[in-house]
Amino acid sequence: MKQEHNRDVSDFTSFIYQKGYRKHFSIDLVAKERIVFAGNLSDCLKKILNWLSRENNSATGFELRTTAPYADNLECIFKVRFDEVKGFLINGVTFHDKNSGLDHRYSISSNHQIPGANSVEGLFPKPKPWAHRLKGKFRP
C-alpha cells in the first residue's frame, strides 16, 4: 500500500473516531460479487484499498456499517467512496433502527457534516413507559 494511502486511512479513522463511532465496523462492497470486510476500522480500510488496487476496479464506492455507541439496535450506514486525491469521502449516511424499522437518510457534501454518534439516538422516538398499558388493561 502506498504511503499516502496509509495517511488517508489514518486520517479517516481518526475522523470517524472523533465523531464517536467506535464499534464493530464492516465494509460492504458490491462489485461482481458481494465482498465484506469486518473488524477494526483501519484494518478494514486497508483491506478495501488493497482489494481495489489489486483488482484495478473503478468501483470505488462502498458502505461502511457500524452501530451507535450505546444502542446496538441503531445501525449507521455510511456511503463512502475513495478518491486518489482527496482520500475517503462520505456521500451519504443512513441511520436505521432495527426495532422499529425507521430510517433517516442524509446526503452529505462534506465529511464534517455527519452527525456525531451520540446524537443518533435522539433521531428515533422512544417508547413511553406507560405505552404498554392500554385503557382497560389495569386488572391483574
The answer to whether 89 and 81 are in contact (CB under 8 A) is yes
Mark the ranges of the chain whose per-residue pLDDT is less than 50. none
Quote the pTM value: 0.82
**What is the per-residue pLDDT for 131?**
64
The answer to whether 57 and 29 are in contact (CB under 8 A) is no
Q: Quote the cell numbers at residue 133.
A: 398499558
56: left (phi over 0), alpha (psi -120 to 50) or beta: left
Domain boundaries, the chain: 3-123
**What is the per-residue pLDDT for 139?**
55
